[in-house]
Amino acid sequence: MAEIEITLPTVAFGNVKVRATPEELGLESVADSHALGVAAAVYLNLFSQGFKVGAAVDVSAPVSDPEGEVEDQAKELLDEGLGGVTEVPEHEVGDTVTVGGTEFTKHGDAPWNKGATVDAKPKPWETGSKAPEAPAKVATIDW
């Protein structure tokens, strides 16, 4: 069975994808590309009109949580996910730390905290030596 996917543009960086069979769009099959184009254009036109109407509707999400339900739920989820641990106590910090049953091992210092281990070879202009030789000549081809 054939399935058609139409991407409908909404606002910046937003799209709606609709998947439908030819029968759901009022087509016999996808063989008639003209009819498919007409069906997609009509669907897009009606969707755009509906989107404009929907965008004009005055809706607002609740801004406040007077009973603190959302905050309580967030704290509960954090406690469950982290096993109640939000910080690692100073006395437990070492080469191996266990947080929520998971063990983390320190593998040396970060590369940017280590001193330079290899000095770069000085450049010719830094040493005061003679100028570089002329560049190599490349053979050209006459077409």
Question: pLDDT (tens digit, 9 = 90+) per residue, 62-85?
Answer: 667 767 777 888 888 777 766 666
pLDDT for the residue 26: 87
d(CA 33, CA 98): 62
pTM of the model as a whole: 0.40
Mean predicted lDDT score pLDDT of the chain: 77
Residue 33, domain member (yes or no): yes
Residue 23, domain member (yes or no): yes
Residue 140, domain member (yes or no): no
Residue 84, domain member (yes or no): no
Residue 44, domain member (yes or no): yes
Looking at the structure of the chain, the number of domains it has is 1
CB 4 within 8 A of CB 25: yes
Average pLDDT over residues 34-43: 89
Residue 11, domain member (yes or no): yes
Residue 8, domain member (yes or no): yes
d(CA 64, CA 71): 11
Query: What range defines the domain where residue 10 resides?
Result: 4-55
- Answer whether residue 53 shows pLDDT above 70: yes
CB 85 within 8 A of CB 100: yes
